[in-house]
Amino acid sequence: MKIIITLLSLIITHVALAAEPMLQESEYKYVEKSIGKGKPYFLEVGSDSCHSCQIMGTMLFQVTQKHPEYNIHFINVKKEREAAYALNVRMIPTQIIYDKEGKEVYRHIGVLSGDELAGLFKNFGF
């Protein structure tokens, strides 16, 4: 019974998130030039066809709606494979945070919860 309830919960969550818009792609060459210009940067590196990436993209889209001043960008490595090499990304989704000087200060692989995201934005001065 627990398995059925868990599966139903996952399906409902998937359907609900699928209807939500995702964070739009940014070209890596544009983002790369902007990192280290006095504000922290959050990069979501993944693919538009990856389920976990879609979940993160939806959550980050919601964050940008509430906080348009945050530097949050999605790099689609399915279209920009060279960006994955430049960023040393081996698995997706990968989240990378750069401080205002452009130094990488955080890296995570996988899906973050909403609370984890909020904590990261607070801790890194977004």
b/e burial code for range 53-66 (CB count within 10 A of at least 16 → b): bbbbbbbbbebbee
Retrieve residue 98's tokens.
Answer: 């750069």
CB 93 within 8 A of CB 109: yes
What is the distance, to the nearest Å, from the Cα of residue 43 to the centroid of all Cα atoms in its chain?
Answer: 6
The superfamily in CATH containing domain 22-123 is Glutaredoxin (3.40.30.10)
Q: What is the dihedral of CA 8, 92, 57, 79, to 10 degrees?
A: -130
Share of the chain above pLDDT 90, in %: 84
pTM (predicted TM-score): 0.81
The whole-chain average pLDDT of the chain stands at 89
Q: What is the pLDDT of residues 46-81, one digit of tens each?
A: 999 999 999 999 999 999 999 999 999 999 999 999
pLDDT computed for residue 11 by the predictor: 55
How many CB atoms neighbour CB 99 within 10 A? 16
Q: What is the pLDDT of residues 19-45, one digit of tens each?
A: 679 999 999 999 999 999 999 999 999
pLDDT mean over 93-120:
97
Ordered by start, the domain boundaries in the chain are: 22-123
